[in-house]
């Protein structure tokens, strides 16, 4: 395998990343596409349905790399007057204190990536605070929030990564 093979591989990689694409208005990062719905306010359940309309789901954050990308995206698109919170996919509505990602159905275990703001989740409003949001004023760290709050929200879907190489 010489230099020719390497440039062939480089060209294929470029082609593959060109072909991978996202629905209109969604931004690609790695194998996912994201859209911050900043002009819509919704409860957590409504936000989940909005994402479904766009064949997506509330964002599931599974790595520091993904969290960092999302923080950057929200920081760029946030402006004064928007709600402080942005809904993502986590909930502990089934069993209080046991957080899970709705879309994957996976519990968020100790060893899994988490970025709760210090002191969160704290169930502060006495409603159990069963839905997860990212708080602008807390650097988009995670918070448990009452599911009825009217927040903006972040949808995620898989990038279309079909390639001509098959």
Q: Would you tell me which residues interact with Ca ion (CB under 5 A)?
A: 60, 92, 96, 120, 122, 124, 128-130, 143-144
Query: Taking the complex as a whole, how short is the minimal distance between the CB of residue 5 and Ca ion, in angstroms?
Result: 33
Q: How far apart are CA 114 and CA 15, in angstroms?
A: 34
Based on CB atoms, which residue is closest to Ca ion, 79 or 137?
137
Q: How far apart are CA 14 and CA 83, in angstroms?
A: 39
Query: Taking the complex as a whole, how short is the minimal distance between the CB of residue 11 and Ca ion, in angstroms?
Result: 29
Based on CB atoms, which residue is closest to Ca ion, 12 or 64?
64
Exposure on the CB side of residue 16, measured as CA atoms within 13 A = 13
Query: Taking the complex as a whole, how short is the minimal distance between the CB of residue 161 and Ca ion, in angstroms?
Result: 14
- 102: tokens are 């709705």
Based on CB atoms, which residue is closest to Ca ion, 50 or 127?
127
Q: Which residue is nearest to Ca ion (CB)?
A: 128
Please answer whether residues 85 and 133 qualify as being in contact, where contact means their C-beta atoms are separated by less than 8 angstroms: yes
């Amino acid at each position: 395998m010489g230099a020719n093979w390497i440039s062939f591989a480089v060209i294929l990689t470029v082609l593959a990343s060109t072909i991978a694409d996202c629905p209109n208005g969604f931004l690609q990062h790695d194998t996912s596409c994201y859209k911050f719905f900043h002009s819509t306010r919704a409860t957590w359940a409504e936000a989940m349905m909005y994402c479904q309309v766009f064949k997506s789901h509330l964002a599931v954050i599974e790595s520091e790399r993904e969290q960092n990308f999302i923080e950057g995206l929200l920081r760029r698109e946030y402006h004064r007057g928007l709600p402080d919170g942005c809904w993502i996919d986590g909930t502990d509505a089934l069993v209080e204190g046991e957080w899970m990602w709705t879309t994957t159905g996976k519990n968020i275990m100790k060893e899994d990536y988490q970025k709760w703001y210090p002191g969160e989740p704290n169930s502060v409003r006495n409603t159990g605070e069963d839905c997860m949001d990212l708080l602008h004023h807390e650097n988009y760290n995670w918070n448990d929030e009452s599911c009825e709050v009217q927040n903006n929200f972040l949808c995620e879907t898989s990038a279309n990564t079909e390639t001509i190489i098959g």
